[in-house]
Amino acid sequence: MVKYRVSIDIGGTFTDLVALNEESGEILNIKVPSTPREPAKAVIRTFREFLRKTSDAEVSVIIHATTIATNALLGQLNLELPKTALITTKGFRDIIEIGRQRRHELYNLFIQEPRTLIPRRLRFGVEERIGPKGEILTPLNKTQVKSLVQQLGRENIKTVAVALLFSYINPKHEREIGEMLKKSLPKIYVSLSSEIAPEYREYERTSTAVVNAVLTPIVSSYLNDLQRKIRRLGVKAPLCVMQSDGGIATKSIVSKKPVSMVESGPAAGVIASAFYGKLLGIGNILSFDMGGTTAKAGAIKEATPEVVSEYEVAGKVHSGRIVKGSGYPVRHPFIDLAECSAGGGTIAWVDEGKALQVGPISAGAEPGPACYGKGGKQPTVTDANVVLGRLNPRYVLGGEMKIYPELSEKAISKEICEKIRLELTEAAAGIIKIANSAMAKILRIVSVERGHDPRDFVLMCFGGAGPMHGCALAEELKITEIIVPNNPGLFSAYGLLAADFRNNLIKAVMKLMDEVNVKKIEAVFQRLELKGAKLLEKQHVPKVNMRFIRQMDLRYFGQSYELTIPTSKPLTKEVLKQAVESFHKKHMAIYGYAVKDELVELVNVKLVAVGLIEKPKLKEQPLHREKPPKEAITAKRKVFFEQNNDYNETPIYRREKLKIGNVINGPAVIEQYDATTVVYPDWMASVDRYGNIILSLRNRGN
């Protein structure tokens, strides 16, 4: 029997199964078209194919990334939302609809809010009130709750969110309501805000509980169904799901708290970058993933992916940033990502003011870029790369996809050159330049805007189109080293295969650091650790693999934003002091100032319970000489480089033929099955012992 770890990623176009041979480190990829209306169908196809290809496979674990949560909230793919009710404090049932009272676009008289997940008639206020110190001002009116529970039964409600004021300090009333619901209506799903997101800010906490309530029936039935079908094929491995924070959790845990996996897919690329970074001994990485329709950037600082504590699910993205108020806020750790619509299929066009624009519309998979010859008439980023000689002018995907360069030329001439006076080459180079400046911006958002200097980072370029743009972006951000991993098109899958178990626990405290009782807070941490250990046990993580990361959310008293500060065990006065010190430092780094004599407030105590998994082994190979073998050069062609503002006769290498240790001086192009790496004139490419291409900037003459 050969042991495999299997990841399944359902994308908009393809469903990918990537299996890692746990002994040899080899990987196997099976790709089938996605079946959006019934996602499990494509998954089963990939499994069948996998089992056919590997006669003696034993699957140890299945790790799954899915967009089902976002799709359901966006009202896509016929995913009907379950009938959901909300119970709040009397007088406050509209908090969920009022939100933060802002509109998410300033200059739009036709602005619309995201649709309300629970109609007003299914939002109920109950008589009760807890005060800001957790004191009970009005006891819970149980008679009212009792009759409400009966009404919910009659109305055939499937799932309920309960979110009362100040429940993060005192969850008593929420728990009582929860118990009454479960007792009378055992089949109903219940999401208590004090369990799902026990943090202050009533709107965000309520919204998180509501999103969780809506998703619970959808996600649990989807995952149950998927597991049943996979089992039927004889595969008995446990099913795990990638969460938004880059950790995995088993099906049963995610089913109860689906709010943890709303951004299940995009995190994988960043986790893969972190995994490679550890392997190669690189702590600071900017992860850059460019595919067919979008580009995504993330940051890893000191081997840890950067996370944010809130996200706007199903929201809109405007110039790289997610727009507050355009979706449903969810309080949970999310891998910090910036995104823009710049991918291979992104369309270039000329606006009314005669300016060249790139995006946001994409030609998608159908018809795709003009050069695919599938009827696309609009020029895309890929077409510009064809005209500039960067992409193979005859075929891509090892010959599976034919390329028609004359169609690229025609599209650019007609749509761009004829509208603004530009030569073909100028126009193509312009398209690339504009796309690059949009992509450089998202890299800046996750670095410069977060207080990091990009020059301290290595750029990890992946996705089908990433390695083609790496050198230009690195030059823009003054980065001097780039890694192009072995299989850029499949790289994200390593994120699924290498992710640890993660469970996030939180307890609101709201106390000045000067007034904190060390023993009490230590006890809080210990209670959270106990809870975390239980969760990990349930997922069969052995004790030796459990790790507990302690954190505190701190802020200056009176501020409204917190910073998360890691802290150590056990808690002492000294440890508290250090935490305050690190807080001042981090505040300085991000916000440019610190006030040492200002009071610091402890808002939340946080614990991440981590279950380490054995990391995939990558195949290491012996070193060859520096000079690439002759057969690695497959051709020469004219490739355009901005530096010379001209085409240069450039050698084209076949990546599969390159050996470990080979060094290539730019300009050069390295082609492989699913990606093309462009080496700019001042850059040098070398192949490391795992087969990654490392691009480094040579000392420039001047």
Partner 1 sequence: MPIDPITVEVIKGALTYATEEMGIALRNSAYSPNIKERMDFSCTIFDHKKRLAAQAEHIPVHLGSMQLAVQKGLEKFKGKIEDGDMILFNDPYISGTHLPDLTLICPIFYEGKIIAYSANKAHHSDVGGKAPGSMAGDATEIYQEGIIVPPVRFVKKNVIDKEIASILLSNIRTPEIRLGDLRAQMAANLLGKRRILELVDRYGIETLHKATEEIMDYSEKRMRIEIGKMPKGSYSAEDYLENTGTSNKKVKIKVTITVKKNQLLIDYTGTDEQVNGPVNAVLGVTLSGVYYVLRCLTDPSIPMNEGCYRPVKVHVPKSTLMNPTPPAPVAGGNVETSQRNVDVLLKAFAQILPEKVCAACQGTMNNIAVGGINPENGKPWTFYETIAGGFGGRKGIDGVDAVHSHMTNTMNTPIEAIEAIYPIRFLEYELRKDGGGPGKWRGGVGLERSWMLLAPSATLSVLAERTKIPPWGLYGGKPGAKGEYYVIKPNGKRVKLRSKCTIRMGKADIFLVRTPGGGGYGNPLERYPELVHRDVLDEMVSLEAAKKDYGLVINSARMEINWKSTKQLRLTKSKI
Query: Which residues contribute to the site for partner 1 (CB under 8 A)?
Result: 91-95, 97-98, 100-103, 105-113, 119-121, 131-132, 137, 165-166, 168, 200-203, 319, 351-357, 420, 422, 426, 429-430, 433-434, 437-438, 441, 444, 448-449, 510, 558-561, 590-593, 595
Report the nearest approach of partner 1 to the CB of residue 200 (Å): 5
Give the C-alpha separation, 267 to 496, whole Å. Answer: 9
∠ Cα 390 395 396 (to 5°)? 75
Question: Burial code of 100-117, b = ≥16 C-beta within 10 A, e = fewer?
Answer: eeeebeeeeeeeeebeeb
Give the C-alpha separation, 671 to 651, whole Å. Answer: 11
Listing DSSP states for 473-537 in one string gives: HHHHHT--EEEE-S-GGGHHHHHHHHPPEEEEEEEEEEEEGGG--HHHHHHHHHHHHHHHHHHHH
Report the nearest approach of partner 1 to the CB of residue 321 (Å): 9
The answer to whether 379 and 431 have CB atoms below 8 angstroms apart is yes
Q: Which sign does the torsion angle of CA 339, 342, 346, 348 carry?
A: positive
Report the nearest approach of partner 1 to the CB of residue 535 (Å): 27
User: Judged by CB, which is closer to partner 1: 121, or 573?
Assistant: 121
User: Judged by CB, which is closer to partner 1: 363, or 563?
Assistant: 563
The answer to whether 64 and 239 have CB atoms below 8 angstroms apart is yes
Report the nearest approach of partner 1 to the CB of residue 463 (Å): 22
Report the nearest approach of partner 1 to the CB of residue 94 (Å): 5
User: Judged by CB, which is closer to partner 1: 448, or 530?
Assistant: 448
3-class secondary-structure state, position 283: coil
User: Judged by CB, which is closer to partner 1: 138, or 572?
Assistant: 138
* Other Cβ atoms closer than 10 A to 253: 21
The answer to whether 275 and 495 have CB atoms below 8 angstroms apart is yes
Report the nearest approach of partner 1 to the CB of residue 555 (Å): 11
3-class secondary-structure state, position 356: strand
User: Judged by CB, which is closer to partner 1: 241, or 432?
Assistant: 432
Structure tokens at 497: 């295969």
Pairing of strands 458-462, 481-484: parallel
User: Judged by CB, which is closer to partner 1: 165, or 230?
Assistant: 165
User: Judged by CB, which is closer to partner 1: 107, or 631?
Assistant: 107
Give the C-alpha separation, 309 to 200, whole Å. Answer: 13
Q: Which sign does the torsion angle of CA 652, 435, 365, 7 carry?
A: positive
Give the C-alpha separation, 502 to 519, whole Å. Answer: 26
Report the nearest approach of partner 1 to the CB of residue 513 (Å): 16
Report the nearest approach of partner 1 to the CB of residue 111 (Å): 6
User: Judged by CB, which is closer to partner 1: 79, or 356?
Assistant: 356
| CA distances from residue 171 to 39, 178, 196, 269, 333 in whole angstroms, order as listed | 38, 10, 12, 37, 22
Report the nearest approach of partner 1 to the CB of residue 356 (Å): 6
User: Judged by CB, which is closer to partner 1: 370, or 417?
Assistant: 417
- Phi, psi dihedrals of residue 58, rounded to the nearest 5°: -125, 120
The answer to whether 70 and 79 have CB atoms below 8 angstroms apart is no
Instruction: Name residue 213's amino acid.
Output: A
User: Judged by CB, which is closer to partner 1: 318, or 577?
Assistant: 318
Report the nearest approach of partner 1 to the CB of residue 95 (Å): 6
